[in-house]
C-alpha cells in the first residue's frame, strides 16, 4: 500500500557535479538514491514518461539508527494521542489548531500570498476538519524576519495539527523564519508541516557536515528533532512558482479537510497529483507535481475524528463583569461551546438556564442551533433584581440534550457554573481612577454595594505596583455599616511623578476570599487635578489602534507594509519622461 524509504539520498546533480564516485563519505549520506534532479521520490513510483504515482511514497532522511528511532518514537506518540479516548478540551481541541505563516518579500507578495492562505483557511475551517486558524504575516523589509511571537510559542505549547507556510525559502530558512524546533515545547503534539516555497524540502544535497550532526536542513530539523518539531514535512526540492503551488495546495487542503478526510496523507497527495496530472501538462505544472516531496511516513493521518463531539466546560462560561454585585444594573452571561470532533454541521438543541439563590429556574434559551464546527457562543444580558439575585447563582448549559447527534462522547454536553452576586462588595470612589493627585495625606473613599448593609470590617492596600508585592505596600483597616467607607492613612509620603495603586475589599467571613476592586492615581506635586496614565499596568487597561505595548513596555506604532509609488519626470519632456519606483514603507 505504501513505500516508506528509510535513509537520506543525494540528487543526481550533486553526485555528478562534485565527482563523488570515490568519496568514502558518499555511502554514508546517499543511503537510498532518489530520482534525477531536482530530486523526485515521486518519480520512483510513476510509470515511465508519466507523473502519475501508483503507490504513495515518503522518505525519512535519516543517516543512522538513532534518527530512525527518534522518528519511530514520535510516530508512536502521535498515534497514541490520536487514539486517546478523552472527552476533554485540553486533550483534543489542539488537534483542530492550524498555523498559517506568510513570508513575502514586499507588500505586493504578502497580499497575494495572504489571499492564497485565506482561501485555504476557508477550506480548513469548514466541513469536515472544522479547524481554528491563526495567521502571521511578515511585516519587516529585511530579507529574513524572525517570527518570535509569544503567541506562536503558545500555539506550539497548546498543540498544532497543521502548519502552512507560503513564501520565500531555502533549504535552511524561511523569509518569515520560525524558530528552530528546539525552542518550541510540543512533545506528543506534532503538526504536519507544509511549506510552499523554494527548496524548503531539499535534503538531497551532499553535505559531509551532516555526518557530524550539523547542517540539518529545515525539513530535517523539524522531522528528526526528538520530542519537538513536526511529524512530517511537505515541500519543494527546488523552485516553487506561486500560482502552481496554489493549484497544488488548494487540492491538498480540500482532500485532508473534506474530500479524503481521515485517509492517509500519502493517498491524499497521490490523489492531488493524479487529479492535476495529464499527459499534456505544461512544464511548470509537471515539475511541481514531481518536486513536492513528503518527508515522513506516507501512511500517517493528519488528525481527524470519526464523529462530532460537542462539549461545554466550566472555563467556557463567563460573566461580565467577572465580579458582580447588587450595585451593578446588569451583567452578561457568555456561553461558548466547542466541537472537538468531526465538523458535520448537523443542528443540535441547546438549553441555557439560570438558577436563582431561591432555587427558582429561569429558562434563558432553548433552541436548535447549527452544528458548531469549532467554536460558537451565545450571550445573554441579565437585569439584576437586588432583592432576589444576591447570593449564589448558577448557569446550567446543555448541548444536544435530546441526543439528536451521535457523538464521540455523550458525557461532556452539560455543565453547571456557579457565580455570585455580592451584596457586601466594596468599591473605590476617590481618588478616581487615573486621576492626578497634588497633595499629601488624602482621604480614600469607597462605597459598599448595599448602602443599607450591616456593620462590616473593610481593608485597603496601597502600593506602587498593581501586583501589590513591593516593599512599599501598606495595609489599612476600617469598619462601618453600608454606604461610604473612608480610610485616612497618615504614614504615607508620596513621591513626585509616581503612580500609586490602591484597592479595597470587604473582610470575608470564615474562609471566604477577598473580592478586591482597585483604582490608581499619579502624584504630581505641582500639577492641577486631571487625568494621567503613566505606568505600564495602567496602559494595559487601554484599547489601542495602530499602536501597541512592546516587550520593553514601550508604545510602538504598528508596521504597515504598503506600496508607495513615486513618479519623476524631465522638463522639457522627452520620449521617456517618467520613472516609477515601488518600495515598501
pLDDT exceeds cutoff 90 at 75? yes
* CATH code of the domain containing 352: 2.60.40.10
Task: Work out the average pLDDT over 64-88.
Answer: 96
Q: What is the pLDDT of residue 572?
A: 54
Does residue 415 share a domain with residue 454? no
Strands (E), 178-300: 192-196, 232-236, 292-295
Residue 173 lies in a domain: yes
Residue 233 lies in a domain: yes
- What is the chain's mean pLDDT, rounded? 90
Q: What is the pLDDT of residue 146?
A: 58
Does residue 442 share a domain with residue 394? no
Residue 187 lies in a domain: yes
Count of alpha carbons within 13 angstroms of residue 561, beta-carbon side: 17
* CATH code of the domain containing 222: 3.40.50.1460
Q: How many other CB atoms are found less than 10 A from the CB of residue 41?
A: 25
Q: What is the pLDDT of residue 579?
A: 44
Of the residues 249, 268, 295, the one at which a domain ends: 295
Provide the 3-class DSSP secondary structure of residue 35.
Answer: coil
Residue 547 lies in a domain: no
Residue 546 lies in a domain: no
Q: Rounded distance, CA 524 to CA 527, Å?
A: 5
Percent of the chain with pLDDT over 70: 93
At residue 415, what are phi and psi to the nearest 5 degrees?
-145, 145
Residue 576 lies in a domain: no
Does residue 274 share a domain with residue 288? yes
Long-range CB contacts for residues 31-37, cutoff 8 Å, separation at least 24: 31/6, 31/7, 31/62, 31/63, 32/5, 32/6, 32/7, 32/8, 32/59, 33/9, 34/9, 34/10, 34/59, 34/204, 36/11, 36/12, 37/11, 37/12, 37/13
Q: Pull the grid cell for residue 322.
A: 467577572
Nearest to 461 by CA among 450, 452, 451, 470: 470
Q: How many other CB atoms are found less than 10 A from the CB of residue 379?
A: 11
Nearest to 210 by CA among 62, 69, 11: 62
pLDDT exceeds cutoff 90 at 347? yes
Does residue 106 share a domain with residue 22? yes
pLDDT exceeds cutoff 50 at 348? yes
Strands (E), 443-525: 444-448, 456-463, 474-480, 484-487, 498-506, 517-523
Q: What is the pLDDT of residue 407?
A: 95
Does residue 286 share a domain with residue 263? yes
* CATH code of the domain containing 504: 2.60.40.2950
Q: What is the pLDDT of residues 31-60, one digit of tens each?
A: 999 998 899 999 999 999 899 999 999 999
Q: What is the pLDDT of residue 573?
A: 55
142-151, 407-416, 474-483, range with the lowest pLDDT: 142-151
Q: Rounded distance, CA 341 to CA 347, Å?
A: 15
Q: What is the pLDDT of residues 138-171, one digit of tens each?
A: 775 555 555 557 888 899 999 999 999 999 999 8
Does residue 460 share a domain with residue 400? no
**pLDDT category of residue 580 using cuts at 50, 70 and 90:** very low
Task: Work out the average pLDDT over 90-107.
Answer: 93
- Give 374's contacts (C-beta < 8 A, 6+ positions apart): 96, 125, 130, 131, 132, 338, 339, 343
Q: Which range of residues forms the domain containing residue 118? A: 3-84+91-295
- For 111-159, the DSSP string reads HHHHHHHHHHHHHHHSTTT--EEEEEE----SSSEE---HHHHHHHHH-
Does residue 285 share a domain with residue 321? no
Provide the 3-class DSSP secondary structure of residue 288.
Answer: helix
pTM equals 0.80
Q: What is the pLDDT of residues 264-283, one digit of tens each?
A: 999 999 999 999 998 888 89
Q: What is the pLDDT of residue 18?
A: 74
Angle at 497 between CA 491 and CA 501, to 5 degrees: 55
Q: Pull the grid cell for residue 439.
A: 497633595
The answer to whether the CB of 373 falls within 8 A of the CB of 380 is no
Provide the 3-class DSSP secondary structure of residue 237.
Answer: coil
The answer to whether the CB of 497 falls within 8 A of the CB of 523 is yes
Question: Using omega within 30 degrees of 0 as the cis cutoff, is the peptide bond preceding 134 cis?
Answer: no
**CA distances from residue 458 to 159, 431, 511 in whole angstroms, order as listed:** 45, 17, 16
Does residue 376 share a domain with residue 331? yes
Residue 374 lies in a domain: yes
- For 355-381, the DSSP string reads E-TTS-EEEEEEEEEPPPSSEEEEEEE
Q: Which residue has the cell 504536519?
A: 192
Burial 48-58 (b: 16+ CB within 10 A, else e): eeebbbeebbb
Residue 573 lies in a domain: no
Q: Which residue has the cell 511623578?
A: 497
Burial 142-159 (b: 16+ CB within 10 A, else e): eeebebeeeebeebbeeb
Does residue 32 share a domain with residue 18? yes
Q: Please indicate whether residue 14 or residue 388 has the higher confidence score (pLDDT).
A: 388
Does residue 533 share a domain with residue 505? yes
Instruction: Report how many domains make up the chain.
Output: 3
Q: Are strands 330-339 and 375-383 parallel, antiparallel or unpaired?
A: antiparallel
Nearest to 39 by CA among 287, 245, 271, 268: 287
Q: Are strands 348-355 and 435-437 parallel, antiparallel or unpaired?
A: unpaired
The alpha-helical segments, DSSP class H, found in 126-264 are 150-158, 218-224, 242-254
**CA distances from residue 84 to 78, 91, 155, 303, 431 in whole angstroms, order as listed:** 10, 8, 21, 12, 55
Provide the 3-class DSSP secondary structure of residue 552.
Answer: coil
Nearest to 132 by CA among 319, 373, 366: 373
Q: What is the pLDDT of residue 582?
A: 39
Of the residues 387, 422, 457, the one at which a domain ends: 422
Q: What is the pLDDT of residue 490?
A: 85
pLDDT exceeds cutoff 50 at 377? yes
pLDDT exceeds cutoff 90 at 131? yes
Of the residues 369, 392, 422, the one at which a domain ends: 422
Does residue 68 share a domain with residue 149? yes
**pLDDT category of residue 585 using cuts at 50, 70 and 90:** very low
Give the chain's count of helices (H) and strands (E): 12, 31
The answer to whether the CB of 384 falls within 8 A of the CB of 419 is no
Does residue 68 share a domain with residue 180? yes
At residue 243, what are phi and psi to the nearest 5 degrees?
-60, -35
Amino acid at each position: 500500500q505504501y513505500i516508506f524509504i528509510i535513509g537520506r539520498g543525494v540528487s543526481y546533480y550533486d553526485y555528478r557535479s562534485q565527482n563523488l564516485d570515490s568519496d568514502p563519505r558518499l555511502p554514508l549520506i546517499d543511503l537510498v538514491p532518489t530520482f534525477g534532479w531536482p530530486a523526485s521520490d515521486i518519480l520512483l513510483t510513476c510509470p515511465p514518461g508519466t507523473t502519475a504515482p501508483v503507490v504513495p511514497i515518503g522518505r525519512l532522511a535519516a543517516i543512522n539508527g538513532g534518527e530512525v528511532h527518534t522518528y519511530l518514537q514520535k510516530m508512536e506518540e502521535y498515534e497514541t494521542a490520536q487514539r486517546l479516548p478523552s472527552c476533554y478540551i485540553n486533550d483534543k481541541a489542539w488537534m483542530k489548531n492550524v498555523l498559517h505563516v506568510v513570508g513575502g518579500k514586499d507588500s505586493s507578495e504578502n497580499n497575494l500570498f495572504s489571499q492564497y492562505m485565506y482561501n485555504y483557511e476557508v477550506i480548513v475551517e469548514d466541513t469536515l476538519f472544522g479547524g481554528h486558524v491563526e495567521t502571521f504575516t511578515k511585516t519587516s523589509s529585511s530579507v529574513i524576519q524572525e517570527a518570535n511571537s509569544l503567541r506562536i510559542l503558545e500555539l506550539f505549547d497548546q498543540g498544532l495539527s497543521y502548519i502552512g507556510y507560503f513564501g520565500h525559502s531555502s533549504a535552511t530558512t524561511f523569509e518569515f523564519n520560525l524558530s528552530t524546533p528546539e525552542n518550541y515545547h510540543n512533545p506528543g503534539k506534532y503538526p504536519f508541516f507544509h511549506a510552499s516555497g523554494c527548496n524548503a524540502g531539499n535534503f538531497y544535497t551532499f553535505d559531509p557536515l551532516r555526518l557530524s550532526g550539523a547542517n540539518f536542513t529545515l525539513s530535517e530539523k523539524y522531522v528528526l528533532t526528538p520530542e519537538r518539531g513536526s511529524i512530517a514535512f511537505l515541500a519543494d526540492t527546488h523552485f516553487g512558482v506561486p500560482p502552481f503551488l496554489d493549484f497544488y495546495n488548494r487540492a491538498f487542503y480540500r482532500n485532508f479537510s473534506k474530500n479524503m478526510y481521515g485517509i492517509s496523507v500519502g493517498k491524499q497527495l497521490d490523489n492531488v497529483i493524479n487529479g492535476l496530472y495529464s499527459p499534456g501538462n505544461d512544464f511548470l505544472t509537471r515539475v511541481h507535481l514531481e518536486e513536492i516531496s513528503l518527508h515522513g511516513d506516507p501512511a500517517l493521518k493528519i488528525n481527524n475524528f470519526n464523529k462530532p463531539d460537542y462539549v461545554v466546560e466550566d472555563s467556557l462560561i463567563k460573566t461580565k463583569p467577572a465580579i458582580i454585585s447588587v450595585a451593578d444594573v446588569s451583567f452578561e452571561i457568555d456561553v461558548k461551546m466547542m466541537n472537538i470532533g468531526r465538523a458535520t454541521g448537523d443542528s443540535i438543541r441547546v438549553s441555557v438556564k439560570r438558577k436563582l439563590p431561591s432555587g427558582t429556574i429561569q429558562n434563558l434559551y432553548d433552541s436548535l442551533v447549527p452544528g458548531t464546527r469549532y467554536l460558537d457562543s451565545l450571550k445573554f444580558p441579565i437585569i439584576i433584581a437586588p432583592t432576589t439575585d444576591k447570593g449564589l447563582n448558577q448557569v446550567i448549559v446543555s448541548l444536544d440534550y435530546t441526543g439528536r447527534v451521535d457523538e464521540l462522547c455523550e458525557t461532556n454536553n452539560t455543565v453547571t457554573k456557579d457565580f455570585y452576586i455580592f451584596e457586601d462588595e466594596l468599591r473605590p470612589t476617590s481618588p478616581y481612577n487615573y486621576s492626578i493627585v497634588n497633595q499629601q495625606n488624602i482621604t480614600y473613599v469607597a462605597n459598599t454595594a448595599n448602602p443599607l448593609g450591616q456593620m462590616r470590617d473593610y481593608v485597603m492596600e496601597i502600593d506602587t505596583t498593581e501586583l501589590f508585592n513591593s516593599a512599599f505596600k501598606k495595609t489599612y483597616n476600617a469598619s462601618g455599616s453600608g454606604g461610604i467607607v473612608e480610610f485616612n492613612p497618615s504614614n504615607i509620603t508620596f513621591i513626585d511623578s509616581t503612580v500609586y495603586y490602591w484597592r479595597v475589599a470587604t473582610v470575608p467571613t470564615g474562609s471566604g476570599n477577598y473580592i478586591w476592586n482597585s483604582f490608581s492615581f499619579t502624584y504630581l506635586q505641582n500639577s492641577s487635578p486631571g487625568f494621567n496614565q503613566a505606568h505600564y499596568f495602567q496602559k494595559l487597561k487601554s484599547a489601542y489602534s495602530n499602536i501597541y505595548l512592546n516587550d520593553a513596555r514601550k508604545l510602538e506604532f504598528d508596521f504597515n507594509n504598503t506600496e508607495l509609488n513615486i513618479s519623476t519626470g524631465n522638463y522639457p519632456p522627452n520620449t521617456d519622461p517618467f520613472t516609477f519606483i515601488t518600495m515598501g514603507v
